[in-house]
Amino acid sequence: MSSNPINIKLSQDPISIKIHIPNTPQLTAGKVFQFNPDNSRWFSIGLFNNHPNNSNMKLLLGMPDKLNKTYFFINGIVFHFQDSTPSSFQVIIEIFQGQKSIYQISPQDGGSGMIKDTDIFYTFEFQLIIS
């Protein structure tokens, strides 16, 4: 699995993830999957969405000592609103260690652009590495 390496520290602060679209009314939702370091097994971490009722929602990934060299895959969607004119959006994937944001990125594969009357899908892969 090719991925984006993200450095984490060995500490008692858990690792979590938040996926959102700031500054626009667009909604995003999807699923986060975890893979073992040798890609032998995967499972779902959970579902996410950025509905206003969930604006501060983060998914817990786990403790750093258990996540070293672990891979993650995000499969998400940006929902359209049948807009009469296209509007811009940018999905932000944010990794936290404890309450501190340690990494932010917009996925290259469908994570930003213009949306009008068709949903847009995006994916992102990353690996957590203790530095």
Q: Give me the mean pLDDT over the 10-14 stretch.
A: 96
Q: Give me the mean pLDDT over the 75-90 stretch.
A: 91
Rama region for 63: left / alpha / beta (φ>0; ψ in -120 to 50; rest): beta
- Please give the model's pTM, rounded to 2 decimal places: 0.90
Is the pLDDT reported for residue 1 higher than 60? Answer: no
pLDDT digits (tens, 9 = 90+) for 92-122: 999 999 999 999 999 998 999 999 999 999 9
What are the contacts of 1-4 at 24+ separation with CB within 8 A? Answer: 1/35, 1/39, 1/71, 1/73, 1/125, 1/127, 2/125, 3/71, 3/72, 3/125, 3/126, 3/127, 4/105, 4/124, 4/125, 4/126, 4/127
What torsion do the CA atoms of 55, 27, 95, 102 make, to the nearest 10 degrees? Answer: -80
